[in-house]
Structure 1
Amino acid sequence: KRIAGTVISFSRTTEKHTKEYITHLVQSAYYDTEKDIVQLQADPRLFELYQFDRKVLLQLKAINALKRRESAQALYTFIESLPRDPAPISLARLRARLNLKSPVFSQNQTVRRAMEQLREIGYLDYTEIQRGRTKLFCIHYRRPKLKPPHDESAENPQLPATPGDVSPEMAEKLALLDKLGITLDDLEKLFKSR
């Protein structure tokens, strides 16, 4: 009743007149306690609001799977809010996100444990890499529903094999170029043209 009773109004006032649109969060609601059914009909003009809420509702599945794992829950909400195919996230950034007061070594253990818990529930897969003195987490995929998609090849594209004598940093750079659609032939043409 509280949701259905919430009124939203949009108004636009000019010097001569005012235009106003008034609606409710829910167009109609039906619930049956005997059958344990709740049906909410949204106002289609508020689709952007419901798109955001849908994402929040998906998060509850992982939050419930992470009961009493507050660090993993906090990292989950942070990682889920990132754009698709995020850049590698530094260990320092994740430490700052958790806002822990313990020594850095202990904070690093907490972050790694939380990331492993996210992997265990099936939310994500990642690789921890080092660039110089900076530790980074490369997130390969995220699954808000905690279930693999029907076509896992779309989720985990196979990178081309790199020669064994390439350093991990160079392999990461090659993978980034591949992600951007830049081939080694493109680079070769670019350097020859200079």
Structure 2
Amino acid sequence: MSENGNKNIAIVEAFSETDKKSGEVVTLVPNTNNTVQPVALMRLGLFVPTLKSTARGRKGQMVSMDASAELKQLSLAKAEGYEDIRISGVRLDMDNDFKTWVGIIHAFAKHKVVGDTVTLPFVEFVRLCGIPTARSSAKLRKRLDSSLTRIATNTISFRSKGSDEYYVTHLVQTAKYSTKNDTVSLQADPKIFELYQFDKKVLLQLRAINELSRKESAQALYTFIESLPPDPAPISLARLRARLNLTSRTITQNATVRKAMEQLREIGYLDYTEVKRGSSVYFIIHYRRPKLRPALPPTKAAPEEPEDILPGDDQEDIIDVVPEEKDGEMVMLSKEELAILEELRKAKARK
């Protein structure tokens, strides 16, 4: 088989995983409603809230994060003995860069890949980013160009401890926009296609991202929480602060996290209870609904018992502190039934 054929197979396999219950190989296909994302990138905090109104935000803050624990299982790392793995580059935001990254994932999944490169019309790339094609103006082209540049500046470096050997690659090897053909060409490094072949991948529902337009902190926490396994253990406030990777005072960061969690509840994605033990604060997630539903009206206060729960206790007790309520059912009454109901109300009032 040709080298190009092997690369194409690697790309197809990158979007497949085995159902642990049935053993069936399932292909995760991105579309306008969802996108396949490697859990490692979602938990690392690669895409974070960015205050573009500040001087530092406009300048483009550089960040570097240790990804050794998340990416050490890559064949490249194992084969070469790389132990120190870092992702470095310009800080990537949720509002623009994450949408562009979604478009990149879609492009490699839905369009023909020649070698390690995919080429598609600019308008199609805009659509895959989840942006209405009617907005494909000169301003939008400049915005996507800037976003592709920021993503391309992010490198993944692999180094061996106690050795001078290292390997450096990019999240996107090259990104080219042709004004003549009005096309976008994206090149990826085949050596890191395996990044998408981890057993733990998440099919993110873009409905939540769209509902949280311009609410970057809530968007970032959504991508993190959705990447967690079923019935997750309580999540500490400190862990959520770290995921947002903010630079403000801790008290301000805490307020940002709480506001973002409340926004996730308002769109019907989750419900949670905030508990405290000593100086540590945890969020107990009762349910997650990526497809969303109308948020429930306020219910009775949660029992006080969760205050004594800490990670490490029996997980079943932790997760089931507040059982999930069943949705109510709305029915239509006939005129006769409404008349009977009105008579019953009047009779009750006379008593």
Q: TM-score category by the smaller chain?
A: 0.5 to 0.7
Distance 1:93 1:85, change over 3 A: same
| Further displaced range: 114-123 or 130-139 | 130-139
Q: Which runs of 5+ in 2 are unaligned?
A: 18-25, 36-202, 295-302, 320-351
Does structure 1 residue 77 correspond to structure 2 residue 223?
yes
Alignment partner of 1:51 out of 4, 11, 28: 28
Distance 1:124 1:172, change over 3 A: same
Over the matched positions of the two proteins, sequence identity in percent amounts to 57
> Which residue is 1:169 aligned to?
308
Give the conservation status (yes or no) of the 8 Å contact 2:204–2:223: no
> Which residue is 1:10 aligned to?
6
Letter in 2 for 1:76: Y
Distance 1:167 1:125, change over 3 A: closer
Alignment of 1:16-165 (within 5 A): 47-48=16-17, 50-51=27-28, 53=30, 56=35, 58-147=204-293
Q: How many residues align?
A: 133
Letter in 2 for 1:134: S
RMSD: 3.9
In structure 2, how many angstroms separate the alpha carbons of the residues matched to 1:171 and 1:100? 25
Give the deviation of 1:86 after TM superposition. Answer: 0.6
2:233 is paired with a residue whose SS is coil
> Which residue is 2:91 aligned to?
none
Give the conservation status (yes or no) of the 8 Å contact 2:275–2:306: no
Letter in 2 for 1:119: R
In structure 2, how many angstroms separate the alpha carbons of the residues matched to 1:102 and 1:143? 31
In structure 2, how many angstroms separate the alpha carbons of the residues matched to 1:51 and 1:92? 32
Letter in 2 for 1:168: E
In structure 2, how many angstroms separate the alpha carbons of the residues matched to 1:127 and 1:167? 8
Give the deviation of 1:136 after TM superposition. Answer: 0.3
In structure 2, how many angstroms separate the alpha carbons of the residues matched to 1:167 and 1:52? 39
Distance 1:22 1:169, change over 3 A: closer
In structure 1, how many angstroms separate the alpha carbons of the residues matched to 2:4 and 2:268? 38
Q: Which runs of 5+ in 1 are unaligned?
A: 1-6, 12-20, 26-42, 149-161, 181-194
Distance 1:170 1:108, change over 3 A: closer
In structure 1, how many angstroms separate the alpha carbons of the residues matched to 2:27 and 2:258? 34
Give the conservation status (yes or no) of the 8 Å contact 1:127–1:138: yes
Give the conservation status (yes or no) of the 8 Å contact 1:72–1:115: yes
Give the conservation status (yes or no) of the 8 Å contact 1:8–1:24: no
Give the deviation of 1:83 after TM superposition. Answer: 0.6
Distance 1:122 1:170, change over 3 A: closer
Distance 1:119 1:10, change over 3 A: same
1:72 is paired with a residue whose SS is helix
Give the conservation status (yes or no) of the 8 Å contact 1:8–1:23: no
